[in-house]
Amino acid sequence: MHTLEQLNNGELQGIQRLKLSQQLTELPREILTLADSLEILDLSDNLLTDLPEWLSELPKLKIVFASNNRFTRLPLVLGRCRALEMVGFKSNQIVRVAEESLPEQLRWLILTDNQMETLPESLGHRPRLQKLALAGNKIKALPKSFANLVNLELVRLSANQLEVFPEVLLELPKLAWMAFSGNPFCERLTHTSSVPTVSSDSYQLNQVLGQGASGVISHANWTNSDFDFPTEIAVKVFKGEVTSDGYPQDELQACLQTGHHTNLVKSIGQVNEQDYLALIMELIPNDYFNLGLPPTLETCTRDVFKPEFTLPVKQIEKIVDQMMDVFDHLHNNKVCHGDLYAHNVLINDQGEMIFGDFGAASVYGYLNETQQRGVRKVEARALSHFIDDLLSVCRPIEQQTAAYKALRNLALMTR
């Protein structure tokens, strides 16, 4: 975090990333003194309603974040920023995105949790666009130009007002990760009861184990003798509002519809109370660790791994076999996970894996057979990328082996 005082005193010369959060109602012109170096401008958590014309005078500006402000339209000046690739305006009150507000080099657009009903045709004329987050709006239809997005790899359309399933998604040649639950075209699921419903006073929450866009996972002690649950459990308490992936209720239902599988986080109970939604899960053994790390600003849609992290090819084979079995299980139950990534996988030293995080999952059994095959085909691309990503950390000495080449061919066939 930086301050206006630092900026005004010239203390920030040469920085590439500037983050200001001081209840700003307008942007300080002193930012122009950073024109020779500034690439990332983070203005989240202010009171801004517009951005000044001089923003386009920052020749190296690649990324603008402005979440949690008071914008009602996407600022027009963004379209004139020649180097701008990533635009993030989550949780504003944006009702309009003008044709000319989208920068020509746009690669990543985040407009989650706003109030848009329509999208501009210019969206489909941004050929570099790879990642598009639009959950939690009022979008009723996609622009006709959407079919031109031949490089789009990830899209979030959950919690909108789409009346029909957007079949254009199934025609995009690179789309691999998509979420579409919580729209009017989605069949309302009956309450899934694959696990018992319990009360929130049945356990005592302890330390936080992890948290993401949709909720917080905590260690807990089970205290209700009416159910034969383990003494120690994990509890995911969902956030009440729409997340970057959709509605928490849809995540819970997709998770429960998927049912049990050896390589999935095991759900054993649910809480469905007024203003309180939670999933009770078995604790994952302590010897499991994260396989990958989420995509960076640079990689956009592809996972990264810890420096120097490698895997033997036999272990990669084992992980891939398990994930392919999970993939079949998911789609046999008509669930598109939407986030099939290494960073959602835990493994141990023996290569046994556990897959989780259903935040972007969409149940799709109500679609026609052609559409269902298309949904599976889209997620098969994510499976292909998953294999590719693991091969990128294969021990170099094994990259000429028959096993490695077989996995490479499998990735190509899965695509």
> Residues 394-407: pLDDT tens digits?
999 999 999 999 99
pLDDT digits 0-9 by tens, 370-379: 999 999 999 9
pLDDT digits 0-9 by tens, 218-271: 999 999 988 999 999 999 998 877 777 888 889 988 998 999 999 999 999 999
Q: How confident is the model at residue 384 (pLDDT cuts 50, 70, 90)?
A: very high
DSSP 258-310: H---TTBPPEEEEEEETTEEEEEEEPPPTT-EES-B---TTTTTS-B--TT--
Model's pTM, two decimal places?
A: 0.94
Q: What is the pLDDT of residue 189?
A: 58
Domain's final residue, options 220, 250, 282: 282
User: What is the rounded CA–CA span in Å between residue 324 and residue 317?
Assistant: 10
CB of 354 closer than 8 Å to CB of 263:
yes
- Assess if residue 195 is contained within a domain: no
**Binding site, annotated residues:** 236
**Binding site, annotated residues for ATP:** 236
Q: Which domain holds residue 37?
A: 4-179
CB of 84 closer than 8 Å to CB of 65:
no
Ramachandran angles phi, psi of 363, nearest 5°: -80, 135
User: What's the domain count of the chain?
Assistant: 3
- 277 and 230 share one domain: yes
Q: What is the pLDDT of residue 213?
A: 76
CB of 158 closer than 8 Å to CB of 181:
yes
Q: How confident is the model at residue 291 (pLDDT cuts 50, 70, 90)?
A: very high
Q: What is the pLDDT of residue 241?
A: 75
- 24 and 167 share one domain: yes
Does pLDDT of 193 surpass 80?
no
229: domain CATH number is 3.30.200.20
